[in-house]
Chains A and B, each alone.
Chain A
């Protein structure tokens, strides 16, 4: 029987500091056979194990066709992530995955894509943006909406400027608090919905971030005639085993780790925004 709990050794190829609290680890399995066999879909996650400290679920941000390595953007929020800040190129950690259900990117081909995120650099949807831009002909319009609390929180800032110059691409960024020379909106990202140009009948929406923000976005999209079956979101819950056994990530009858983390809004709706679930 395959042991679903056992990590595999991986090596840090490169470590990139994205902001004072966010860094990217670019990884490769030390066993070339295992590395060659590793396949994932955007929106899926790995369990990363820091030796002697513990395991955490982190989504994969790199392109699924990149055979050299896979990337995890990590924000320092707790014991394990703080320990991981010490990792440098050549260091080893444990990886098991990929887990869960990713974004419906095949279904999204030929449609307008709208990506909405709130909070600090939302890794699960950055993988979607990069995926779409690298395969631009397969999709129609791309609308990127990103909200942050403070303008300093926006990572990959130059990327947003580059994206905004691409054809059929609209970038709407907002910070609750903006500093001098902040080129984008100051206020809530959901205030920018009037500027969004999409075809509601052909749009596919992908979101992650605080549930309150996502709820406002869903309501707004609904008014614009976007069917909720075309709205997808990535959920975040406590995850310990990643294989649907430990029970921590339950959201009603769903195990977020194996039934999600990406859900269509219609799947998530009945308990969405309900405190305690």
Chain B
């Protein structure tokens, strides 16, 4: 994969080229005290100089003099909402005068999106969501339509948060798969690398200058440093057997006393895929819309079957989440469902730390 250099002063050229190729650009920006991903079109819209501080239950941004746009670790939002929509109409039904029911598809026609600033953990998570939503026996049409239209501009992570542990899951901090372009950012500009035919074609329009050996060495060293600076880790990449051998561990009860069963972890998790559908009927009774939205295994309704709830208490729900995420994902998709992004740690209102819980149940230290 050849790389070229894009000077910082020409970053706007990347956005303009993407626009000209027909993409709406989505990028990181500061909103309500957090970095979120939304539409932007100007280089000035990026979170220049922003740094984050994250720890269990805490996320804070601060401004620095750095000219860099990507010198922070992920905020709450992942790629997930752009492919697995938080709320989405599935189909429509209509009751006609002769009491027949007509069903009609809602064919999503998503516009092409270019998402800038995607991290390695989220690319790994996207790969897992692809497996779940479009590579099984029943591909999901809405997901597939949005997924097909993405152009992904990754950024190699150089500023991991205290909550990050992608090095231990093997998913980061370097973006190695799933991107069209990948950037390494320095104060002077961007090393640009293409990862797909679409990416090559677009890079060819950027009039990149050759990368020097020193530039490449500095870039590689920064990403390696980012991996080394991570303090959290999971005890092992495959915890399936040890988790299922410890279903009666007292720690489940202990964590349930802290867990609020709020579902924040599942909302911010880039791999959680649960959803529920319900009908919304018009007041005249002639039309009904079948709508699905994200659900969470921490809700009462998630495991409800007539007259009983399989997971009535928080202990059972936390245990379900963790044994699925780190355990039964291996049965379903051949790897753990955790990509080490650390969002569930920062965004848990009581600061429950998945690496700490996994270590308590499976053995192995949380810190190096």
User: Of A87-95, A104-112, A124-132, A199-207, which binds chain B?
Assistant: A87-95
Min CB gap A259→B, angstroms: 10
Partner pick for B319 among A237, A243, A276, CB 8 A cutoff? A276
Partner pick for A243 among B138, B244, B276, CB 8 A cutoff? B138
State the majority secondary structure of interface residues on B: mixed
B297 within 8 Å of A (CB atoms) = yes
Interface size on A, residues (CB 8 A): 47
Knowing A8-B103, A238-B310, A243-B137 are in contact, say whether A248-B274 is a contact too (CB < 8 A). Answer: yes
Flag if B278 contacts A54 (CB, 8 Å).
yes
Flag if B137 contacts A244 (CB, 8 Å).
yes
Per-residue contact bits, chain A 1-27, to B (CB 8 Å; 1 contact, 0 not)? 101111111000000000000000000
Q: Enumerate chain A residues within 8 angstroms of B274, measured Cβ to Cβ.
A: 246-248
B133 within 8 Å of A (CB atoms) = yes
B293-323 contacts to A, CB under 8 A, are 295, 297, 302-307, 310-311, 315-316, 319-320, 323
A240 within 8 Å of B (CB atoms) = yes
Flag if A253 contacts B136 (CB, 8 Å).
no
Count CB-based A-B contacts (< 8 Å). Answer: 133
**Most chain B beta-carbon contacts within 10 A, residue among A7, A77, A245, A250:** A245
CA of A236 to CA of B281, assembled, Å:
29
Flag if B295 contacts A248 (CB, 8 Å).
yes
B251-300 contacts to A, CB under 8 A, are 273-279, 281, 285, 288, 290, 292, 295, 297
State the majority secondary structure of interface residues on A: loop
Knowing A92-B100, A94-B103, A247-B297 are in contact, say whether A240-B306 is a contact too (CB < 8 A). Answer: no
Flag if A7 contacts B103 (CB, 8 Å).
yes
Q: Enumerate chain A residues within 8 angstroms of B278, measured Cβ to Cβ.
A: 54
Flag if B275 contacts A236 (CB, 8 Å).
no
Knowing A252-B331, A253-B332 are in contact, say whether A246-B276 is a contact too (CB < 8 A). Answer: yes
Min CB gap A113→B, angstroms: 27
B320's nearest neighbour on chain A, judged by CB, is: A276
CA of A150 to CA of B181, assembled, Å:
67
B247 within 8 Å of A (CB atoms) = yes
Flag if B288 contacts A52 (CB, 8 Å).
yes
B108-143 contacts to A, CB under 8 A, are 132-133, 136-141
B330's nearest neighbour on chain A, judged by CB, is: A253
A227 within 8 Å of B (CB atoms) = no
A266 within 8 Å of B (CB atoms) = no
Flag if B310 contacts A237 (CB, 8 Å).
yes
CA of A243 to CA of B100, assembled, Å:
26
Min CB gap B123→A, angstroms: 21
Partner pick for B101 among A5, A51, A246, CB 8 A cutoff? A51
Q: Enumerate chain A residues within 8 angstroms of B133, measured Cβ to Cβ.
A: 245
Flag if A9 contacts B285 (CB, 8 Å).
no
Partner pick for B306 among A6, A49, A77, A90, CB 8 A cutoff? A77
Q: Enumerate chain A residues within 8 angstroms of B310, measured Cβ to Cβ.
A: 237-238, 276-277
Flag if A53 contacts B279 (CB, 8 Å).
yes
Flag if A238 contacts B91 (CB, 8 Å).
no
Partner pick for B316 among A30, A247, A276, CB 8 A cutoff? A276
B296's nearest neighbour on chain A, judged by CB, is: A247
Flag if B288 contacts A51 (CB, 8 Å).
yes
A86 within 8 Å of B (CB atoms) = no
Q: Enumerate chain A residues within 8 angstroms of B141, measured Cβ to Cβ.
A: 1, 3-5
B144 within 8 Å of A (CB atoms) = yes
Chain B residues packing against A (C-beta within 8 Å): 90-91, 93, 95, 99-103, 105, 132-133, 136-141, 144, 244, 247, 273-279, 281, 285, 288, 290, 292, 295, 297, 302-307, 310-311, 315-316, 319-320, 323-324, 327-332
Chain A residues packing against B (C-beta within 8 Å): 1, 3-9, 30, 49, 51-55, 75, 77-78, 81, 90-94, 236-238, 240-241, 243-248, 250, 252-255, 258, 270-271, 274-277
**CB-defined A-B contacts under 8 Å, sample of 26:** A3-B141, A4-B138, A5-B140, A6-B105, A7-B103, A9-B100, A9-B103, A49-B93, A51-B101, A81-B306, A237-B305, A238-B305, A240-B276, A240-B277, A241-B275, A245-B132, A245-B136, A248-B295, A250-B324, A252-B327, A252-B331, A253-B328, A270-B244, A276-B310, A276-B311, A276-B319
| A-B complex: 8 closest residue pairs judged by Cβ atoms | A253-B331, A276-B316, A77-B306, A247-B274, A243-B138, A253-B328, A4-B138, A52-B281
Known: A91-B99, A252-B328. 15 other contacts (CB 8 A): A4-B138, A5-B91, A5-B290, A6-B91, A7-B93, A52-B288, A77-B306, A92-B100, A238-B310, A245-B275, A246-B292, A248-B295, A252-B331, A253-B328, A253-B329
